[in-house]
Structure 1
Amino acid sequence: MFNKNQPLLLATLTSLIAPFSLASSFVDPEDGKFDMGHYIAENAHGFLPVPIIITEPAVGYGGGLVGLFLHESEEEKQARKQAALMSVDGGARLVPAAMTVVGAAGTQNGSWFAFAGHRHSWFKDAIRYTGGAGLGQVNLDVYREFSDVPLVGDLSFEIGTENKGIAALQHLQFRVARTPLMLGIKQIWMKTDVTLDTGNDTANKVLEKIGDTGLIPGLGETTNSALGLTAEYDTRDNIFYPTTGYILSGDYMFYDRQLGGDYDYQVFNFDGEGYIPLAQKWNLAFAGNYQQFETDDLLVPLTSKPYVDMRGVPSFRYQGDKIQTVQSQVTYDIDNRWNVSAFYGYGEALNDSSEDQSVQAYGAGFRYKIARRYGLRMGVDLAISEGEVTTYINVGTGF
C-alpha cells in the first residue's frame, strides 16, 4: 500500500548515500542514536531525490524515484534550517510553501506510472493549491459476486483489467479564518483505454468485440470528468506520526457528461482519524471511512465504484455502492525510538443489485523514529486477511 505521507519520509532515506565522512551527521546529539533529522536540517537543499516503495498486493511489489524540487529563497531556506535545528521532537517543517515533484515507478505485474505535480500555499497556508498530471498503465483484478442466479446459484468471478490512460487533478483550498478548517473545490479529468484479460487469447478477442458494441461499460477509450467540493478539519499534533488530535475530511465528486465525461455518477467520501494517549507509553488510534456511489446509468466502468481500503486487503477486491470501514490500532513505545503496534480492521462493501461482502484484517508492526526533529517514523507492518499475509513498508501510523 502506498502511504500518503511516504514521499516526505522516503526523501530522507536518500541521505544514506552521502559520503562516509558525513557519518557523524546521522548521530542524534540528544541520545546518540541513528537519526537523519540533523543531516536534513544542515543540508537544506533545493532538490531531493525521493525513492518510492510500493507494497500493494493488487499490483505487487515495486518502486521508483521522484525528484522533489523545493522553491524557496536563500533567506527562506536558512529560516527553515534554523527552525529544524531548534525543534526538540517533531514540529519542524520538511518542505516549504512551494514545491514540485516529478517521478515514475513500476511494479511486478507490469503496472507503471509517471507523473508531475505542484503544491503552493500563500499567506501562512491560508490558501493552498495542488495540481498534477500523470500517465501510465495499471493492471488490476476486479471481482464480481452474484447470489441466486437462475440455473447457477451463487456466482463469483475475477476479471483481469489492463488500464492505460492519462489523468489530471486540481485542488484549491481556503482556510476558514485561523481555524483548522479548510474548504475547497477539486477537479479530476481522466482518459483511459481499458481491456480485459481472461488468460485466454480467444476469450480476450471475444470480449474485445463485445466491448466495441458498448455492452460492457468502460472498455475501450473512455473519458471521466468530475468537479466537487471538499472539506478538511485537522487538529493532529504531527502530520507524519500523530499521537493526539484528529483529522476529518470529506469530498463529494460529480462525474458528469456536461463536464466532458462519458458517464454520470457521484461519489461521496468521508475519512476520519483520531489519536488518544492512554498512558505515558501507550496510544490508541481509530480510523474510519464511508463512501457512497450513486448513478442513474444502468452500466458504469468496472473500476468506478469505491472499494475497501485497508492493510492486508488488495485494492478493488471488495467494491460496492457503499463502503464502510473501521480500524483501530494500539501502540506501545519501547523507548524514545522504537515502538510496536497491533491493529485490526473491518470493512463492508454493500451493493444494491448484488451480494454484500465483508472482510477483516489484522496484524502487527513496528516503527523507528528516524528523524526526531520532524517526527518521522518508518517501519514494517505484517497484515493478515483471509489467510493471506502481506508485508508493508510504512510511514506514519499505517492508516
Structure 2
Amino acid sequence: MRHQASLDRLTCFLGGGGFHPIVHIPPSPNPLGMHTPAGRHLRTLPAIIAALAVTGAAHAQEKQPKEAGRAFSFVVLPIPISSPAAGNGLAVAAVALYRVEGAERPWATGLGALKTDTSSWALAAGQKAYLADDRFRLTAAAAVGEFHIDYYGIGQGSGDRDRSIPITEKGQGGVVSGLWRTAPNLYLGLEYRLIDLRTSLDLSQLPFPDLAIPQIELRSRSSLLGLAGEYDTRDNEYQPQRGVYATGKWMWAHRRLGGDFNYTRVEFGGNAYLPAGKSGVFAVRSAVCSASQRAPFYDICSFGSGADLRGYVAGRYLDRALYAVQAEYRRPLFWRLGGVAFAGVGGVAPSFGKLSLDNALPAAGVGLRFQASKKYKVNAGIDYARGKDSGAVYFRIGEAF
C-alpha cells in the first residue's frame, strides 16, 4: 500500500468522494510481481485475487426509510492490502448519504480505517454539508495514523530513477472549509488545514544524498489558512452528465498560525462533463499545483494520491510545481454495472517556468463501476491504470473527478 506523505491526503477521499490508490503493480519480469528493491513492490497476484473476491462481496447497500424525502444510502467498501512495506491487512471505507431539511443536495458523512500486520494503521472521518438551500457549503475532515511508506526524493529525476528508502510517519491532520454562494453557481470562502507529522528514517542507509530529509521537517507542523472557491454547474455531484466544476485554493502557512514553516501553496482544477451518445459521458480535467520553496516535503505537489494521473505510485513524482490533463469516457453497461476508459498526461518541476512536455508522464487505463446507491447515483469502482513504466489498481467510492 502506498500513502502520500502528508496526512491531509488521507482525508481527501472523505471530502472529495474518491479513494486513493491502494494496490500498485510494478513492471517486473516476475509473473507474481515480486520485484522488490527497497521493499517497495506489492505481491500483486495474491492482492488482486483477494481484491476481486472482496469487492464482489462488498457491502454496497442502500437503505431507504419509508419517510418521504429522507432517503438514506449507506455504502461500505472493504479493501485488502498486501505490500512488503505496509504489510498485509485491510482498509474499510464507509459513506452515508442522506437528505436534511432545507438542503438542496444530499449531505455526506464518511469514515475510514486501515490496519496491517506491520503496525501501519489509520482512522479518518469527514463531513460534507449544504445549508440554506445550498447557499453555504461546509466541509471538514480529520485523520490520525502511523504509516510505513517509501520515499523517492523530490524532482522528476528522483522519480525516474525509481529508488526509494523506507520511512515511518506518525501524526494527524485535518481540514475545515466554509464557502458562501456569492453569485449563481459561484462559491467563495476560507479553508484551514493542519498537518502534524513525525518522520523517522535510517540515515546510514541512504543510497543517494538527496534522499536525506531536512532535520526541521522530521518533526514538524504545518498550519495553513487561505482562500477557497468553487464554480459548480454540475447536474449531479456524484455522477454528473453535464456541467462544469472548477476549484481554486490559495493557502498561506505561517508560524503565527502555530506551524513551523512560512510558505504558500496554490491549487487550481477544472472539470467539464458532456453527454456522449444516448447514455455515455465524456469528462475532462486539468489541474495545476504550486508550492513555494520553504514548503516541507510532505506538503508539495505530488501525483498518485488524488484524482490526477492515475498509474503512478503515490509520492514517486513530487516537486514544487505540477500540471495534469486527462480525459475519461464513462458508460453504463448492463444492470447496475458500468465501465470507464481514461488517459492523461502530466509533469512535475521545481517551478512552473521549468515545466515541459519533453519529459511528460503519460497514463491510461480502464475501470469497472457498480452503482452502489441508485437514489444518489453513487458508484463504487475499481480502476487499472498504466504509467510509463508502472501500473496501479485503484478502489474508490465515487468517480475519480
User: TM-score of the superposition, structure 1-length normalised?
Assistant: 0.70
Cα deviation for residue 373 of structure 1 reads 2.8
Q: What is residue 339 of structure 1 aligned with on the other side?
A: 338
Q: What is residue 64 of structure 2 aligned with on the other side?
A: 40
Q: What is residue 158 of structure 1 aligned with on the other side?
A: 164
1:303 partnered with 2:331: no
Instruction: String of CA shifts for 1:218-258, please: whole Å, max 9, x gaps.
Output: 11x21111111000011111111112111000101101122
Q: What is residue 130 of structure 1 aligned with on the other side?
A: 139
User: Map of 1:151-230 to 2, 5 A cutoff?
Assistant: 157-177=163-183, 179-197=184-202, 203=205, 215-219=214-218, 221-230=219-228
Cα deviation for residue 301 of structure 1 reads 2.7
Q: What is residue 34 of structure 2 aligned with on the other side?
A: none
1:238 partnered with 2:214: no
- Check 1:311–1:59 CA distance in 2 against 1; reply closer, same or farther (3 A cut): farther
Contact kept in structure 1, 2:154 and 2:319, CA below 8 Å: no
Mapped partners of 1:271, 1:293: distance in 2: 15
Contact kept in structure 2, 1:55 and 1:391, CA below 8 Å: no
- Check 1:109–1:182 CA distance in 2 against 1; reply closer, same or farther (3 A cut): farther
User: Map of 1:14-163 to 2, 5 A cutoff?
Assistant: 39-40=63-64, 42=66, 50-51=76-77, 53=79, 62-64=90-92, 66=94, 76=101, 94-95=106-107, 103-106=112-115, 110-144=119-153, 157-163=163-169
Contact kept in structure 1, 2:176 and 2:193, CA below 8 Å: yes
Q: What SS does the aligned partner of 1:303 have?
A: helix
Cα deviation for residue 52 of structure 1 reads 5.5
Gaps of at least 5 residues in structure 2 are 3-11, 20-53
User: TM-score of the superposition, structure 2-length normalised?
Assistant: 0.70
Q: What SS does the aligned partner of 2:64 have?
A: helix
Q: Higher relative contact order at CA 8 Å, sep ≥6: structure 1 or structure 2? A: 2
Give the number of aligned pairs.
338
For structure 1, which segment, 155-164 or 221-230, has the greater mean C-alpha deviation from structure 2 after superposition? Answer: 155-164
Contact kept in structure 2, 1:380 and 1:394, CA below 8 Å: yes
Letter in 2 for 1:63: A
- Check 1:145–1:171 CA distance in 2 against 1; reply closer, same or farther (3 A cut): closer
Contact kept in structure 1, 2:313 and 2:392, CA below 8 Å: no
Larger radius of gyration: 1
Q: What SS does the aligned partner of 1:223 have?
A: strand
User: Map of 1:207-356 to 2, 5 A cutoff?
Assistant: 215-219=214-218, 221-295=219-293, 297=294, 300-308=295-303, 309-335=308-334, 337-352=336-351
1:374 partnered with 2:376: yes
Mapped partners of 2:99, 2:371: distance in 1: 27
Contact kept in structure 1, 2:115 and 2:121, CA below 8 Å: yes
Gaps of at least 5 residues in structure 1 are 8-12, 19-34, 81-91, 149-153
